[in-house]
């Protein structure tokens, strides 16, 4: 039916293995590895809310800052102290989920073509998050904050950026003026605002971005931060003292690892690593692409302007424009080639993709030129007409999920689509009407769809809660859905056996259902 997807390389299958391991603990829907971006947003908001409280009590003078924060932990441990700890742990969590999110997207190869924008706008977020996190330690103005501020100044002095070395600002207590401390406050308040703007920009080219994790996951993640904060409250080190070098420090290795690394190497080494990593990340999306897949194409004569493709496209690649033939419809879909992922989810949404149309050549309002929906109808008709078995099971699968090919035998006809979201529900009804004994629909696990929303929309359409919906008259006993990632072939086989048993138990012949 479609072109084969990029081969599963080691990194991709390793991520899938890890994700499957987590699935068995959390379930696919609540697996944190499938919601790293939205967890990042959650931690950002927790940091912002707890930060507002901390700012209200912070004495922003160099001499008063230490006392105002230290007393918060000691005298008001049940509220201010708790929020201070949550603030710190949420910052650590944000760094961890951000790095996890980056590694996941990288190993899945999600940095090219239509994803280039998301990738390139993600890279500056790395810098913002670390800069916000490191700057936060300075505001306590304890020995850890002193160490971090000093190390950052020495690192910046590694480049000939400033006329006089920044580290001179930390030679004596008198040198750390209120003005310098106001700069610390400004950095720690200004950068998060830039980060928020960067986050908004990052998800601009994504429809219905997953910016809030499922409620149970959000509650569990927030509760974990509070439990950690209660069990191991964050306390200040002794007050900063520029006449001494701090002796023992409890380093936050997640945010501040870069300082000990610099002292173990050199500031030049850290600059080299930073420039090298940024260069690599920014170069990745521009590496030559081996496969260029044609994007979705609209046929004005078959587009009635219903906007379903506009609503369902996961990458906001569809816009609605005035229809060239106003007698047919007021609006028509238009595809932005730069944004289109060639996923076919719009084809599954389009009312004109129904196989019941009496036209000899099925032309959809929107279609994938390399894998048109008419071909699926032809192949389905041919498979159900073949004499080797009169009651086949039809399997509609997805190129990116578990391979449906292994299920092919004389009693099973298989069709693998670019994304399971390309399947118009009417094809399920059509297959049953044309003689299939049952239909198995498979795709990636919840949260694992290669094109973000294909699995979700397919499930909703087949359950009848999203347009185009599967008609209520279609016998549900003859239909099975299974969500299985690449490599999870066992789940497919189990689902097929379940469907076979259900069909056998189904009372009487499959009723003929009339087309919509």
Binding site partner of 432, from ligand SF4, ligand HEM, none, Cβ cut-off 5-8 A by kind: none
CA distance 309 to 347: 7
Please enumerate in sequence order all residues whose Cβ is within 8 A of that of 180, keeping only pairs 6 or more positions apart, or say none. Answer: 62, 169
Shortest gap between Cβ of 454 and ligand SF4 (angstroms)? 9
Binding-residue pattern over the window 258 to 297 for ligand SF4, x denoting contact by CB under 6 A: -------------------------------------xx-
Binding site partner of 346, from ligand HEM, ligand SF4, none, Cβ cut-off 5-8 A by kind: ligand SF4
Binding site partner of 98, from ligand SF4, ligand HEM, none, Cβ cut-off 5-8 A by kind: ligand HEM
Of 228 and 295, the one with the shorter C-beta distance to ligand SF4 is 295
Element at 213 (helix H, strand E): none
Binding site partner of 445, from ligand SF4, ligand HEM, none, Cβ cut-off 5-8 A by kind: none
Q: Does 343 help bind ligand SF4 (rule: CB under 6 A)?
A: yes
Binding site partner of 281, from ligand HEM, ligand SF4, none, Cβ cut-off 5-8 A by kind: ligand HEM
Q: Does 313 help bind ligand HEM (rule: CB under 6 A)?
A: no
Tell me which of 313, 431, 470, 474 binds ligand SF4, using CB under 6 A: 313
Of 308-316, 409-417, 432-440, 497-505, which part binds ligand SF4 (CB under 6 A)? 308-316
CA distance 207 to 215: 20
CA distance 363 to 252: 60
Binding residues for ligand SF4, rule CB under 6 A, total 29
Binding-residue pattern over the window 430 to 459 for ligand HEM, x denoting contact by CB under 6 A: ----------------------x-------
The residues facing 341 across adjacent strands are none
Binding-residue pattern over the window 116 to 155 for ligand HEM, x denoting contact by CB under 6 A: --xx--xx-xx--x--------------------------
Tokens of 333: 């879909």
CA distance 188 to 380: 60
Of 234-242, 248-256, 302-310, 479-487, which part binds ligand SF4 (CB under 6 A)? 302-310
Closest-by-Cβ residue to ligand HEM is: 122
Hey, how many other C-beta atoms are within 10 angstroms of the C-beta on 81?
22
∠ CA(71), CA(75), CA(76), 5° rounding? 105
3-state secondary structure 26-42: HCHHHCHHHHHHHHHHH
CA distance 198 to 130: 14
Binding site partner of 9, from ligand HEM, ligand SF4, none, Cβ cut-off 5-8 A by kind: none
- Nearest Cα to Cα of residue 139 among 92, 78, 72, 76: 72
DSSP codes, 230-281 = HHS-----SBP-TTS--------HHHHTHHHHHHHS-HHHHHHHHHHHHHHH
Q: Does 340 help bind ligand SF4 (rule: CB under 6 A)?
A: yes
Q: Does 40 help bind ligand HEM (rule: CB under 6 A)?
A: yes
**Residue where the block lists tokens 């980056």:** 102
Binding-residue pattern over the window 369 to 408 for ligand SF4, x denoting contact by CB under 6 A: ----------------------------------------
């Amino acid at each position: 039916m479609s072109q084969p997807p990029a081969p599963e390389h080691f990194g991709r299958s390793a991520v899938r293995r890890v994700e499957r391991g987590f699935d068995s603990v959390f379930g696919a829907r609540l697996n944190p590895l499938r919601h790293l971006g939205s967890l990042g947003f959650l931690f950002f908001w927790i940091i912002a809310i707890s930060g507002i409280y901390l700012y209200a009590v912070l004495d922003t003078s160099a001499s008063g800052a230490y006392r105002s924060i230290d007393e918060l932990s000691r005298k008001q441990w049940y509220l201010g102290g708790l929020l201070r700890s949550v603030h710190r742990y949420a910052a650590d969590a944000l760094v961890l989920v951000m790095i996890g999110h980056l590694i996941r997207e990288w190993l899945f190869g999600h940095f090219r073509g239509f994803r280039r924008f998301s990738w390139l706008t993600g890279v500056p977020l790395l810098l913002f998050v670390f800069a916000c996190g490191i700057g936060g330690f300075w505001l306590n103005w304890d020995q850890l904050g002193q160490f971090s501020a000093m190390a950052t100044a020495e690192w910046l002095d590694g480049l000939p950026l400033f006329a006089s070395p920044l580290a001179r600002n930390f030679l004596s207590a008198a040198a750390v003026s209120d003005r310098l401390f106001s700069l610390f406050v400004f950095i720690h308040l200004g950068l998060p605002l830039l980060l928020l703007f960067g986050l908004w920009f990052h998800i601009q080219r994504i429809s219905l971005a997953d910016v809030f994790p499922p409620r149970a996951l959000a509650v569990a993640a927030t509760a974990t931060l509070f439990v950690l904060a209660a069990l191991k409250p964050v306390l200040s080190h002794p007050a900063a003292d520029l006449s001494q070098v701090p002796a023992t420090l409890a380093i936050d290795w997640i945010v501040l690892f870069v300082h000990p690394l610099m002292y173990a190497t050199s500031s030049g080494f850290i600059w080299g690593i930073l420039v090298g990593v940024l260069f690599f990340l920014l170069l990745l999306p521009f590496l030559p692409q081996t496969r260029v897949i044609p994007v979705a194409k609209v046929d004005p004569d078959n587009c009635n302007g219903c906007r379903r493709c506009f609503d369902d496209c996961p990458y906001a690649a569809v816009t609605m424009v005035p229809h060239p033939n106003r007698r047919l419809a007021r609006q028509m879909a238009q595809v932005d080639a730069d944004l289109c992922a060639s996923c076919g989810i719009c084809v599954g949404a389009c009312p004109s993709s129904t196989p019941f149309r009496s036209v000899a050549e099925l032309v959809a309002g929107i279609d994938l030129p390399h894998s048109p929906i008419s071909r699926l109808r032809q192949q389905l008709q041919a498979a159900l007409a073949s004499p080797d078995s009169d009651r086949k099971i039809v399997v509609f699968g997805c190129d990116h999920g578990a391979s449906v090919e292994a299920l092919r035998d004389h009693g099973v006809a298989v069709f693998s689509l670019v994304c399971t979201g390309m399947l118009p529900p009417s094809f399920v009804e059509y297959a049953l009407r044309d003689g299939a004994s049952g239909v198995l629909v498979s795709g990636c696990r919840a949260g694992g769809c290669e094109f973000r929303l294909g699995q979700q929309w397919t499930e909703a359409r087949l359950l009848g809660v999203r347009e185009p919906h599967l008609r209520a008259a279609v016998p549900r006993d003859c239909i099975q859905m299974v969500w299985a990632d690449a490599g999870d072939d066992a789940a497919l086989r189990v689902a097929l056996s379940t469907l076979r048993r259900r069909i056998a138990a189904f009372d009487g012949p499959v009723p003929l259902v009339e087309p919509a």
